[in-house]
Each structure stands twice: as structure tokens, then as C-alpha cells.
Structure 1
Amino acid sequence: MILNLSLVKLQMMKLLPKIKKILLNAFIIFVLSLLLFEVLYRNSVIDFYKAETAHLNSEADLATTSADFLVFGDSFSATAKEINYIDKLREYNPEKRFVNVSVPGIGIRQVNTFASSKIKKHHPKAIIYQIYVGNDLTDVDHLWNWEKFSLVRNIYWGISDYFLSLSYLNHKLAAFSPRVTSRSYTMATDEFRPEYYDERTKRFLNFDANYFNNALMLKAPFASRYETWLAEMHEFLETIPQEIPVYLVWIPHCSQVNSYYRNNLNEIGATFEDEVAIQQSDYPFLAKASKDLQTYTNVIQINPLSVFQVNDTNDNRLYFANDPHINNEGNTVLSDFLQSELQLE
């Protein structure tokens, strides 16, 4: 028995260098593959988001070489057609061609990988870029904390700030997440329930109870993230010919609209040190961006906050009860507002 164990140990010692070599080669292949994929993604060598844009547009939309409006955005602009404000604008203006290339879960850094190619393909007369103040600053530089977040999440967030293609892979894998199924139920529930509320929002608040307050006010750690976001916005705007108007549509966070949403967020741990200031139309994030981007004469800032504040009532909520996205009523109010602001009437 002792002899057999010795033989096994001897064989393992002989195999160990081979195993190390195999693992090292596998690691090198993985890193090189990731680097190659990153290069392909950043240069938009192929249309990585072809499936997403196909879902949001007709074949005629995608084939057009003269769009009236080219739309860039995240999940607020890539929501279901039944409620999407872009589709409502299409209904209001059947003679206009809207091409919607919005993708859930992306930010300005990802948009910059394909914006130029989309502009060259569709030659838009105008561009809509949708900004969401609730998380656009963390999309350019993720929050990570070894004490409050898991090891895997911290590693992913840390690496994905350098490898943008990881966000694409995560986006694709999200389709298989059980969260997708659970949200279809919780977002359809009109009653606020802390246990139902959006998990991503809870994660932000676990990092800092003042997360949304500080993002809107550009307090630490968001002041530095704003500078990163601004640099990416400059890159985006520099790709657009000066004769093409660019409408920056600022989607408010629900906490800015009224106390109903702030009270609900309080129940899941949020605090608002600057409650009055974040409700003002010139809150710091938007005000500073407006000032910093004023050199672009083709940029028009569109801020629906005051319109949301007027139209959100007990009988007509504009946001989902357990998710910070706007619901059908919110999309209707936004589309009506844009109909006027874009001078489509």
C-alpha cells in the first residue's frame, strides 16, 4: 500500500511540470483572446449589438441612409415597444424616420465604440442622446468596495473599466439571469414593496446611502467620475458634424420628482442630504454639463424634470413602483414633451 502511494506521488511529481505548462498556455491563450476581442469591440469591427437594434427597429429603419433622428441611449430608450417613448414619437410622426440604436446596460464609453459607424451609415438629420442621471457616472468608472461587494463583483467591475468588451459579455449573459424573470413580475406590481425593489439600486445604496444625492450633486466620489464622463461626451460630440443638431435628453432620477419616490427609497436605505437642491431644474450634474458643453453650438439640452414633477400624481405615477425606470405613463409624458421640444408639431 505504501509502495503504491509512493508510485502515485512519483507520477504526480512527473506530471506537475506538464500541468503547469498547460495552465500557463491556457492563461496566455485566454489573455490574448480577451485582448483581441477587446480590439474588435472597441473598433466595432462587427455590429455587436445587431440583435438589440433589430428588436427596436424595422428593416426599413435599419436600411435607411437618411434618418431624421438617430437615437443613442440605455434601457430607458431600449424598453419594450409597447411603452417606449421613441415608438410613441414614431406614432405621432409617421413621416419621420427614427433609428433607435439604444442598448440596455451601456453608457457613453460603450456608445463611443459604435457611434461613428452608425452616424456614417444612417446620415441623421438630428441626433438624440439620452442621459440617465441615476447611473451614467458609474458606467464610466464602476464603484467597488472589498467590504461591501463580493470578490467576483469587485474583480469584474475593476477589470471592466479597462476591458469594455466585458460589459458586452455581461450584457449577453444577463439574458440567462433569473433576475430578468423576477423583474417582469416586480415591475408589473403597482404597490411599493421593499423586498421587490430593484437589486441594482439596493447595491448602490449598500455602497453609500447618499449615492443618488451625491451623484446628482457631483459630490465625492462622483466629481472625478464626472470629469471622465465629460471627456467621453467630448469624444462623442467631436464625431458629429456641426450642422447636425444633438439633443441631450436628461432622464431624471425618481427621487428628484417628488416625496413619494424619496420616501420609498428611504425605506430601502437611501438618504438625501440635499433634498431641495436635487429637485431644482438646475441641479449640479445637469448645470455643470450644460456649462461645460456650451462650446458645441449644435448641442441642445432637454430637461423634462419640471414636466415630470407636474405630471406625477397619486393617480398617475410616471415610474414603476419597484424600479427606477419610467413606466408607460412616464414614456407618454416624455414623448409629448419631446414632441414639442424637438419642434415636431
Structure 2
Amino acid sequence: MLESFDRHRRLRTTPAMRRLVQEFRYTPEDFIYPMFVQEGLHGQEEIAAMPGVYHYGLEEFRQEVLELSRLGVPSILLFGVPEEKDELSSSAYAERGIVQEAVRAAKEENPDLLVMTDVCLCQYNQAGHCGLVQDGKIVNDPSLDLLARTAVSHAAAGADVVAPSDMMDGRVAAIRAALDREGLIDTSILSYAVKYASAFYGPFREAAHSTPAFGDRKTYQMNPANVREAVRETASDLAEGADMVMVKPALSYMDVTKTIRDQFDVPVGTYNVSAEYSMVKAAAAQGWIDERAMVTEILTSFKRAGADFILSYHAKDAARWHREELGLEG
């Protein structure tokens, strides 16, 4: 007679049973959809390195906002692609800049949409760096005023959340002080507190027209080998006034997300970045993978690692699949 043993398979017998005991799941309410709005563009243009992701002109952007709202995606993160660049990144904080106009357009189409804006300088200067460049160096302190001006201009246009991604030291404190000084006390700050100098950003640089003209970003973005540094960066940004924090990239850094989730009692997000998306799309195009199954597994893994919300270019597809499962699509 066999010795007694645990029958774990009892809880895997049917789809209903598996759903009942599932420990982690995501819904469209967890998603923030990154979007690229291009100044002067009429229509929309697919980004070659990111199939299914587009540069939008403002009118097409409005239509996409309506579609995302229909699908139940509650939030977007805006990136602007300006027509003109200069050494002071002045298009970043122009009152009628492309991001500022897109914020206004999004709020006109859906006042309830949670509109977040990326706060950085890299798309707006010829050097393609996230801070001011002086004598061939990316300088920290002189960059803070321009970053703060950019955040204020986004908030004044109606952004609910500003998300500084530049990785200059002290940026959150500068932005929080500037927002408060302008009476924008309800604007939240989502800090890219943990942003690694990653090879996974390659397709994004095509999307944002932000490839560095010289050098790299390793003097301000984090070393991918470091985790304790991520804890220090997060602690600093929270002390300076951040309301939420983000880990970027997501897929290769789930241990970091788990560490930040365990050590800090604030909302934590993770950014499923461009190459993570593009690799899935490329493999799916070759017929090598089941795209829907793989995306579902990836997004679930982010929740398992402790992410409260997920920034992902898969968000629109995943929201559509969710509606199909509920019998609302098709």
C-alpha cells in the first residue's frame, strides 16, 4: 500500500478550480499605457521597432484616448516628440508644447482619465541627454530648474501625475517645491526612482527620438548589477516628496521590484519597457510563441513580484483580451 502523500493536483483539476485558487492576477485597472505624441504630425505612424505602437498627431491621439477609455485602461503616460530642439530643452516646458497640448486634449476627451507625463529633457535637446550638457558633461544642479519648470507646465495643463525619469539627484525635491509654490499641491509625483542603464531601452529611443549624440547615460542611470543602490534611491525620492515609485525595466528586475515592495509602504509600479515588448512581438510574428499566453504570464509575474501597477505597451491588447474573456468583445 502506498504511503500517504499530498495530492496537490486536486486544486488544478478544472479551469474553474485553477481560477478559484489563483494567488495573483492583473486587471486593466492595473495598467498605465505609454503613448508618444508628435508635434506637427498629421495622422499616425507605426514605430518600426515596436509593432502596434504609434506616434500620434493630436487628432489621432484624441481618438486613441477614446478607444483606451472604452477598453477600460484607466491611465496613460505621455511622451512628447517636439518639432524643435535646443540646448535648453525649451520645448519641454513651453506652455503650448506637445505634451501640454496632449494633456489638454486627453482631459477634453475623458476628464476621468488619469493623465501622467514623463518629465525629462532628452527628447528636447540635440544631445539626447536627460539633463543639461555643459563642456561635454551632463550637469546635475543646473538641470533641476528646467525639470521643475517642465513638471509645473504639465501640471498647469491638467496632468494628474508628473513622472520624472531623468535620474538627476534632487529632482523630486525641486519638482515638489515648484509645484507647491505654484499652488499645484494635488499633483502627484511618480518617481522613476529605480531606473537602470539598460540595453532594454533600444526601441524606445527610436520612438522618442532621444538617442544620445555622445556617450551614454551611465553617469546618471543605475548599474544593472546593484540592488542596495535601488533602496537608497527610493528612500531619497520618498524623502524628497515622491508619492509613488517605479522600477524600470520590469522583466529582468523583478527581484528589485520585490525588494522595493517589501521595504517601502508606498505604491510601487514597474515599467515593462520597449525591448521587452518588441522581443515578444518579434517572436510572435515568427510564430515561435503564443503571444497572448506569454503576455498574460509576463504581466502576472509583475503582480507576483509586488507591483501595484504596470506600465506596459501590451496594455491595450491585454485589456481587449480581458474584455473577450468577459464576453464583451468579439
**TM-score, with length taken from structure 2:** 0.31
Structure number having the greater strand percentage: 2
- Work out which of the two has the higher radius of gyration on C-alpha atoms and give 1 or 2: 1
- Identify the structure with bigger relative contact order (alpha carbons < 8 Å, sequence gap 6+): 1
Give the helix-richer structure, 1 or 2: 1
Please give the TM-score of this superposition, normalised by the length of structure 1. 0.30
